[in-house]
């Protein structure tokens, strides 16, 4: 099946409400028009764009704010547009987007920050200045001004600034773990005031007690606690010390612990316990539910080794089908992603790393910025050790992404170490965000990955693909077997090793 054209670029922020007013600049209807200048009414979106456009005026060539447009649509300054409004801030004298009482957004934000984070002559003052500098570097301060209106945000920033909340992981762990706290913690890590911490590991460690507390039986609760902490938490910590991070390991561990928790509750509903569980119970558990129930195998193996349950058998689940897409469909998707210029560069580049190189989204999300190298003539990428030259169309898309790597205009990512920065400072994009973006495009993630690897092992020996892209030899041998190439290469003498 040939994929349809990629959808139009999604609108950021609140969707436009339909109304009876037609914006003369974008020709879209809206519920109201506001004043850009006396006698000039535009929709809010066009006003925001006009007040944040700087450069050389198309008429007078002066480098300044360009709120107007000439008949061809080129940005021009307010004087050349005939606007009888002065856009200079009364404090800093810069032409910037006005916000309140003659002050620009940056000066208004500075006032709000000084009100929230009072000046204190102690060690916390350095943190205050670092945070203040970070916020004032935003391209759109209005968003941060609105963020500061939250009482929770003001309380946390004020406490960190005056020292009543210690800037340590231990002190922050004692506070309610909200999205605001996680963002501020990530910001402190990114600015060097806290040591690095794997966010996935931290969330997993905090999640374990909440899942264990759902089990009523003391014996079952103890068994689940041991499985979660002794078996999984140790492995997740080990993964956190590796470049790939703990995100994938924590995700798999959560799934196994959740299934184990559901199994213990299922036993309780049958008036049974872990110690009295029989093989017939296991068979009934597997027969009456989804295939994810087979992941209880590791839990039962652990409890049997710990003498918390009898030795029970969970058969290996046989995968009936392995998802793939048609090879021609894969090529069509590659072309669509290269040509869909109306869509952001980041999701298109991520899709190409999946479609061309068969990289899983967890690995793509955590790719460091050092994994790419771009100069005037070439661009290359590496997934393990060896550099791979990128074709010109993908290289051009990579260059476009690197020029605008920030996920939103309110964030700076100069110090972010990842190729695809996330919503929080110093973190990479979440795998779930990638999944949503590619699903929105209509791409079959698993099918695309499998087909990409099938085609790669068809064009070069499987061990070379494994070494270049960071896969195991066994996994690539399975893709080679699917293409029917392994025996053919062996008998013809073309199969290495």
Q: Which residues of the chain have pLDDT under 70?
A: 1-18, 119-124, 318-321, 408-411, 483-497
Same domain (yes/no): 453, 333: yes
Same domain (yes/no): 72, 128: no
- Would you state the pLDDT for residue 335? 92
- The region, left, alpha or beta by phi > 0 then psi within -120 to 50, assigned to residue 373 is beta
The tally of domains found in the chain comes to: 4
* Final residue belonging to a domain, choices 190, 225, 250: 190
Same domain (yes/no): 126, 70: no
- Would you state the pLDDT for residue 9? 45
Same domain (yes/no): 119, 79: no
- Would you state the pLDDT for residue 410? 61
Q: List residues bridging with 100 in a β-sheet.
A: 103
Same domain (yes/no): 56, 27: yes
Same domain (yes/no): 402, 334: yes
Q: Is residue 497 part of a domain?
A: no
* Final residue belonging to a domain, choices 128, 156, 190: 190
Same domain (yes/no): 337, 470: yes
Q: Is residue 56 part of a domain?
A: yes
Q: Is residue 95 part of a domain?
A: no
Same domain (yes/no): 185, 205: no
Residues 357-394: tens digit of each pLDDT: 999 988 898 899 999 999 877 899 999 888 999 999 99
Q: List residues bridging with 104 in a β-sheet.
A: 98
For 221, phi and psi rounded to 5 degrees?
-65, -40
Q: Is residue 448 part of a domain?
A: yes
Same domain (yes/no): 179, 207: no
What CATH number does residue 374 fall under? 1.10.443.10
DSSP assignment string, 143-206 = HHHHHTTSHHHHHHHHHHHHTSS-SSHHHHHTS---HHHHHHHHHHHHTTSS----HHHHHHHH
- Would you state the pLDDT for residue 226? 95
Q: Is residue 389 part of a domain?
A: yes
User: Is 106 in contact with 96 (CB distance < 8 Å)?
Assistant: yes
Q: Is residue 57 part of a domain?
A: yes
- Would you state the pLDDT for residue 103? 94
Q: Is residue 317 part of a domain?
A: no
Same domain (yes/no): 381, 479: yes
Q: Is residue 4 part of a domain?
A: no
Rounded distance, CA 281 to CA 429, Å? 42
Q: Which two tokens stand for residue 192?
A: 């060097």
Residues 248-284: tens digit of each pLDDT: 889 899 999 999 999 999 999 999 999 999 999 999 9
Give the residue numbers spanning the domain of 351. 327-490
For 254, phi and psi rounded to 5 degrees?
-60, -40
Same domain (yes/no): 476, 340: yes
* Final residue belonging to a domain, choices 190, 224, 254: 190
Same domain (yes/no): 78, 129: no
């Amino acid at each position: 099946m040939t994929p349809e054209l990629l959808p139009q670029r999604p609108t950021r922020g609140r969707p436009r409400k339909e109304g009876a007013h037609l914006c003369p600049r974008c020709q879209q209807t809206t519920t109201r028009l506001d004043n850009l200048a006396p006698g000039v009414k535009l929709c809010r979106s066009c006003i925001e764009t006009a007040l944040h456009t700087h450069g050389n005026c198309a008429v007078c060539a002066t480098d300044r704010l360009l709120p107007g447009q000439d008949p061809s649509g080129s940005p021009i300054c307010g004087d050349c547009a005939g606007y009888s409004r002065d856009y200079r801030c009364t404090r800093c004298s810069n032409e910037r987007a006005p916000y309140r009482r003659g002050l620009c957004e940056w000066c208004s934000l500075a006032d709000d920050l000084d009100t929230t984070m009072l000046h204190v002559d102690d060690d916390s003052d350095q943190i205050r200045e670092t945070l203040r500098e970070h916020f004032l570097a935003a391209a759109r301060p209005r968003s941060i001004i609105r963020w500061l209106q939250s009482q929770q945000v003001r309380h946390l920033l004020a406490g960190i600034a005056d020292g009543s909340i210690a800037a340590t992981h231990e002190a922050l762990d004692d506070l309610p773990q909200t999205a605001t706290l996680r963002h501020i913690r990530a910001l402190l890590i990114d600015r060097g005031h806290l040591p690095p911490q794997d966010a996935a590991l931290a969330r997993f460690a905090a999640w374990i007690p909440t899942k264990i507390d759902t089990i009523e039986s003391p014996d079952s609760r103890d068994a689940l606690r041991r499985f979660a902490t002794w078996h999984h938490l140790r492995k997740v910590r080990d993964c956190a010390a590796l470049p790939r991070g703990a995100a994938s390991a924590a995700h798999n561990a959560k799934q196994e612990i959740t299934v184990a928790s559901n199994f213990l509750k299922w036993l309780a509903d049958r008036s049974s316990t872990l110690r009295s569980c029989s093989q017939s119970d296991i068979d009934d558990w597997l027969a009456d539910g989804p295939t994810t129930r087979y992941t209880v195998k590791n839990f039962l193996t652990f409890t049997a080794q710990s003498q918390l349950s009898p030795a029970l058998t969970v058969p290996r689940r046989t995968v009936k089908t392995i998802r793939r897409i048609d090879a021609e469909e894969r090529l069509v998707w590659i072309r669509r992603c290269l040509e869909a210029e109306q869509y952001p560069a980041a999701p298109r580049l991520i899709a190409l790393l999946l479609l061309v190189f068969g990289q899983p989204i967890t690995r793509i999300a955590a790719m460091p910025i050092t994994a790419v190298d771009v100069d005037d003539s070439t661009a290359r990428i590496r997934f393990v050790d060896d550099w791979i030259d990128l074709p010109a169309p993908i290289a051009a898309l990579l260059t476009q992404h690197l020029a605008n790597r920030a996920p939103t205009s309110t964030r700076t990512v100069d110090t972010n170490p990842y190729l695809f920065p996330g919503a929080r400072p110093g973190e990479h994009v979440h795998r779930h965000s990638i999944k949503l973006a590619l699903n929105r495009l209509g791409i079959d993630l698993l099918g695309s990955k499998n087909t990409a690897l099938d085609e790669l092992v068809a064009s070069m020996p499987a061990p070379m693909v494994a070494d270049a892209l960071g896969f195991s030899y066994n996994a690539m041998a399975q893709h080679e077997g699917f293409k029917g190439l392994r025996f053919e290469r062996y008998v013809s003498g073309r199969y290495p090793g």
